[in-house]
Structure 1
Amino acid sequence: MRFNTLKVGLATLIAALPTLALAHPGHDHITSFSTGFMHPMSGLDHLLAMIAIGLWAVSIGGKALWAVPTAFVGTMIIGGAFGMAGLQVPFVEQGIALSVILMGVLLVGSVRFSVGTCAAIAGVFAFFHGAAHGMEMPLSAHGAEYAIGFACATALLHVVGMGLGKVISRIEAPIVTRITGGVIAAAGVMMAIA
């Protein structure tokens, strides 16, 4: 059975839209989910890293197609729990910036390790992103619903990256992946020095 990345991405987005429309008071559980969902979408660093994870997973192929994004989302939730619990995670912002830079470099170099190593790399990066999400959770948000929101948004961004990777592979232009990686790495450097 073939997996259609675009269809899954669109279905996820459509499923999330009704919750985003309920902005008036009295829907605290929806607000918590929506706030969590929008958090990864609101920062270029998160957007670039999460799209890059999906793109990298497609460029590696095989079991990495699911192992890498799954490791990212799972470890990000653990990092989010650390942040929500108020535990100090050192170098969060630097870890996020470094994740963007290194994801770009991995794409530029078409780097392929074992699936376990790739999943571990994604997990290390994800921990910092999750910690940032958790530390920035509004006090009024319900933790579990907020976490479900940022996990869904992250998965959606991975699907966007995977869709981009599938398009690139269909047109047989791997140079596009490398150029995209270069842009992502350069953006990460700019974020790190800003």
Structure 2
Amino acid sequence: MNRSACSRLALGATLSFAAASALAHPGHDAATVGASLWAGVLHPFTGADHLLAMAAVGVWSALGARSAADTLRLPLAFVTLMLVGAALGLAGLALPAVEPMIAASLLVVGVLVAIRAKLPAWAGMAVVGGFAVFHGYAHGAELPGTAAALSAVLAYVGGFAVATMALHLLGIVAGTYLRHRAGWLARVAGAGVALYGASLLVA
């Protein structure tokens, strides 16, 4: 892929990211989902709160990265702790304030993107990892735990883990482009995500 195509991809992803934050609505109420690889892949895309949070983590990671390894720290922390949360949800264990914490993740990560905050690696991983537990719990809790075979459950979990990493990578592409060429657009997108998170908290 040439440089011009990469630029168009990054710009398009960022504009979609900003627009989605203004128009989005949560898509994961109390409804349950089926257990399959495809259901898992689709699930992060059915709720704008999940989608925006995951993309925003990728953007923030790219904006503050000092190296390629730095860029992957936050996404890997998010996916790892998300799987922990999913296990809690699948086990039927209670986790308080799941929806408010998901909304708070949008507010906090959106602000971090908007101000291009640079935190120590451990602090950034703790922030995104803590919120990821609640995102993972929502994924796991929406799957009927007693109605699916173990293989189907594992396929579902693997599906949303792969989809989450893909959203992180899309955010990294956008963030890498914006870091050097259009920092103001990253600030606008981050502010939009933060405002959406605030609106969910108020609602």
- Gap regions ≥5 residues in structure 1: 1-5, 10-29
1:167 has 2:171 as partner? no
Runs of at least 4 residues off by over 3 Å:
138-141
What TM-score do the two structures reach when normalised by structure 2? 0.77
For residues 151 and 84 of structure 1, the distance between their equivalents in structure 2, rounded to whole angstroms, comes to 15
For residues 43 and 131 of structure 1, the distance between their equivalents in structure 2, rounded to whole angstroms, comes to 14
Query: Which residue identity is paired with 2:195?
Result: A
For residues 194 and 128 of structure 2, the distance between their equivalents in structure 1, rounded to whole angstroms, comes to 16
Is residue 36–residue 137 contact of structure 1 (8 Å, CA) maintained in 2?
no
Residues 44 and 180 of structure 1, relative CA distance in 2, 3 Å threshold: same
- Gap regions ≥5 residues in structure 2: 1-5, 10-33
Query: Aligned-pair distance for 1:31?
Result: 5.9
Q: SS at the partner of 2:116?
A: coil
How many residues are aligned here?
A: 166
What TM-score do the two structures reach when normalised by structure 1? 0.80
Q: Structure 1, residues 52-96: CA drift from partner, whole Å, max 9, x if none?
A: 000000011134311100000000001000000001011110110
Taking only aligned residues, the RMSD between alpha carbons, in angstroms, comes to 1.8
Is residue 64–residue 119 contact of structure 1 (8 Å, CA) maintained in 2?
no
Q: SS at the partner of 2:135?
A: helix
Query: Which residue identity is paired with 1:92?
Result: V
Query: Aligned-pair distance for 1:104?
Result: 0.6
Out of 140, 145, 163, the position equivalent to 2:148 is 140
Identity %: 38
Q: SS at the partner of 2:50?
A: helix
Q: SS at the partner of 2:95?
A: coil
